[in-house]
Amino acid sequence: MAIKEEKDKRPIIAITMGDPAGIGPEIIIKALSLAEISRICRPIVIGDARVMKNAMQNSKSSPVVLNVVKRVDAGNYQTGIVNILDMDNVESSKLKMGKISVEAGRAAIKYIERAIDLAMEKKVDAIATAPINKEAIHKAGYKFDGHTELLAKRTGASNYAMMFLSDSIRIMLVTTHMALSQVPKELDKKKILATIKLADKELTELLGKRPKIGVAGLNPHAGENGIFGSEEAKIIAPAVEEAKKLGINVKGPISADAIFYLANIGMFDIVIAMYHDQGLIPLKLLSFNKSVNVTIGLPIIRTSVDHGTGFDIAGKGWANPSSMIQAIKVAAMMAMKKKAK
């Protein structure tokens, strides 16, 4: 009688290579050389095999074998083997590490689109993305300001947000990539309330309990009763009060110069920041290379590193893979939780 093989329950994680001229290929190689990654998931890279081969030579990590496949289910998911769906869309001999190029920007977008399609088709369980360069993708003709906007458009998501997780602090952004002068124009009660509700829903699932949510003010001292601005009284406070009526454990608006300290000592499970740098500066100060970006509100799971393309060190073997390792781990954890439902 034949022995039935046990089905591999490890989730399949599609890892996009990011900008070919950046540190993405290197940090992926370093992350996938670790047994702790292959124990928890089946990672497959969406990228260019020649670029990844060059990264292997420069990565200064444990040796790995590159395995080029045409289908996700054809991968050999063992420690020391890097499976890659080769898009073959970069002339590696002409690629200049650390330099912005149209070719690299176009290639990076194609990796993301392929990964999204695989996730939507349920051929992979989650996506973890290496960094892209916004100037490069703009030069290539794409008007997206980052991964988030592309993910939302391609998946048809309308209510989404960026959430950053670390051991020290959690942050969610109401607005993302835009000029600071545009932020007050983009903020409204509906958008802030939607972000609070997303934070409550997602963290309830992750933590197994309703989270304590703190909402930051926009202006110094949270407006100081209208002296420094009216956004707190007109839109932020009403959004918080509406969220409370829904049973959400939320407080705010709280001055931004205090709320992140309060979160760091445990008073809040997450902080809702009004704009990009308001949330990302304290996050990176406390947890640079240790935090993970999760796009909330999509029909698929997507995590990412907390840093950029590192053009200044690309190709030198110096890149720190810590955030990529965490991004893969969080993607695997979220995929397992989703499967268990």
| Strand, coil or helix: 129 | strand
Fold entry, domain 10-157+298-341: Isopropylmalate Dehydrogenase (3.40.718)
Res. 75: pLDDT tops 50: yes
Residue 130: what pLDDT?
Answer: 97
Task: Give the CATH number of domain 159-297.
Answer: 3.40.718.10
The first and second tokens of residue 170, run together, are 């959690």
Q: Domain boundaries in the chain? A: 10-157+298-341, 159-297
Q: How confident is the model at residue 6 (pLDDT cuts 50, 70, 90)?
A: low
Say if residues 179 and 166 touch (Cβ distance below 8 Å): no
pLDDT of residue 145: 78
More confident residue, 93 or 70: 70
Q: How does pLDDT run across 279-311, given as a tens digit for each residue?
A: 999 999 998 888 899 999 999 999 999 899 999
> In the predicted model, what is the mean pLDDT of residues 110-116?
97
10-157+298-341 and 159-297 share one CATH topology? yes
Coil, strand or helix at 296: strand
With residues binned 3-state (H G I as helix, E B as strand, rest as coil), the percentages for the chain, rounded to 5, are 45, 15, 40
By CB neighbour count within 10 A (0-12 exposed, 13-18 middle, 19+ buried), where does 182 fall? Answer: exposed
Percent of the chain exceeding pLDDT 70 equals 98
Q: How many CA atoms lie within 13 A of 186 on its CB side?
A: 15
329 pLDDT above the threshold of 60? yes
pLDDT in tens, 173-222: 999 888 999 999 999 999 999 999 999 999 998 888 999 999 999 999 98
* Residue 5: predicted pLDDT: 53
The DSSP call for residue 314 is T
For the sheet containing 65-69, what is the strand order?
65-69, 81-86, 42-47, 12-16, 126-129, 302-304, 292-296, 161-165, 170-173, 270-273, 213-216, 250-254
| Kind plus residue range of the DSSP H or E element containing 333 | helix 322-340
Kindly list the distances between the CA atom of residue 199 and the CA atoms of 171, 205, 232, 281, 297, in Å, as whole numbers in the listed order.
Answer: 9, 10, 19, 20, 10
- Residues 17-27 have a mean pLDDT of 97
Cis check: omega of the bond before 253, within 30 degrees of 0: yes
Mean pLDDT throughout 88-105? 91
Instruction: Convert the pLDDT of each residue in 255-265 to its tens digit.
Output: 999 999 999 99
